[in-house]
Amino acid sequence: MTHAGHTPAGAPAPASDPGPGRTPHTAAPLGPLTVGVEEEFLLVDPVTRELRAEAEKVVAEAAPDLGDRVGPELTRYQVETRTDPHTRLADLADQIRSTRHALAQAAARQGLRIVSSGTPVLVALSANSPYWAGRDTGYASWRTTTWGRWPVSGPPPYFESSSHFEDLVAGFLATGTVLDRGGLYWDIRPSHHLPTLEFRAADATATPDDTVLLAGIVRALTATALTAVRAGERPPRPSPELLRAACWHAARDGITGLAVDPDTGRLTPAAAQVDRLLARLRPALHDHGDSALVHTLWSRLRTEGSRAEAQRAAHHRRGHLTDVVDHLIATTAPRPSDPRP
């Protein structure tokens, strides 16, 4: 999960609810947005390549190095890490790599390894989970498909105001649809305790560089949207059905296939949609000093191809799923001396 915010962590968020049909406005100038990342990792036995429910041990082992930046996740097979909020994308990249390395070292001391597998364009960019229960699903991101089984997931509805959002959340809580605000699994949601937006659409990214690429795009998306709001522009309102179709195509095909353009409803190459998105985000990428790094990482991913296809290639060499696990171990936390994948 990537989160982007305008104020430092812990600072109060500006309250603004102009009501239905009006545009939120604040007179404060738009400064650089901070960006941070939360990542989830599975714990794997390096001999059997099976999952191990040892999250508590690994979290305790990693805590001296990572402090409160490491913690448990939804299941005992998973561990979550968190970065600090950063203004410079290069600093975020350094912390992502060092955090993955520290967690991998902690897991190794417990005899384990960590693996990372798990908006339509963000889904396509990060697609990294083709296998489920030992079988190739035919999807690039099966995690996205299974996640859609939760009652509050996928693209969020269009909210006219913050009170509209709060009323809907109150209804979910009152009916037991979600147990708490943490159960709001929409692809994008406001944080319930920090002045940030949380982008949750992406699959579990394979490499540190993929995470940095997504973080740069997410920050630029947020900044571009804020600029449009302050200019009084009305947001686009594609149909919910079309958005879900776009997410389904992205989960199935990743960046190597066709994707639904939410503006036109037509199928176009997913990679071309990424190019158009980056062109639209050019001013925000430039303002945050991220343009060169984001374009370099996108060019590398486009050349290397889908991470889901890389998993399939690892499997096809010998027909062993254990080779897929070994591939994921190597790409999730490469040693500092290793060349970047």
Which residue is associated with the tokens 């296809």?
A: 309
3-state class (DSSP) for residue 188: strand
Beta bridge partner(s), residue 193: none
Q: Which of 14-23, 220-229, 312-321 has the lowest mean pLDDT?
A: 14-23
Instruction: Enter the tokens of residue 71.
Output: 């913690």
CATH 3.30.590.20 fits 117-332, yes or no: yes
Give pTM, 2 decimals.
Answer: 0.86
Angstrom distance (rounded) from CA 249 to CA 114: 29
**Residue 206: burial class (beta carbons within 10 Å; 0-12, 13-18, 19+):** buried
The one-character DSSP state at 14 is P
Residues composing the chain = 341
What are the tens digits of pLDDT across the range 251-307?
999 999 999 988 888 999 999 999 999 999 999 999 999 999 999 999 999 999 999
Strand partners, 267: 260
Element (H, E) at 136: strand 135-136
- Tokens 């890490």 locate to 81
Task: Report residue 296 as tokens.
Answer: 């370099």
pLDDT at 57: 97
Bridge partners of residue 82, in order along the sequence: 38
Confidence of residue 10 (pLDDT cuts 50, 70, 90): very low
pLDDT per residue as tens digits for the range 85-144: 999 999 999 999 999 999 999 999 999 999 997 666 788 889 989 999 889 999 999 888
Neighbours of 52 (CB within 10 A): 20
Q: What are the structure tokens assigned to 58, written together?
A: 């690994």
Q: What is the pLDDT of residue 336?
A: 60
- pLDDT tens-digit map of 130-151: 999 889 999 999 888 888 888 9
**Every domain of the chain and the residues it spans:** 117-332
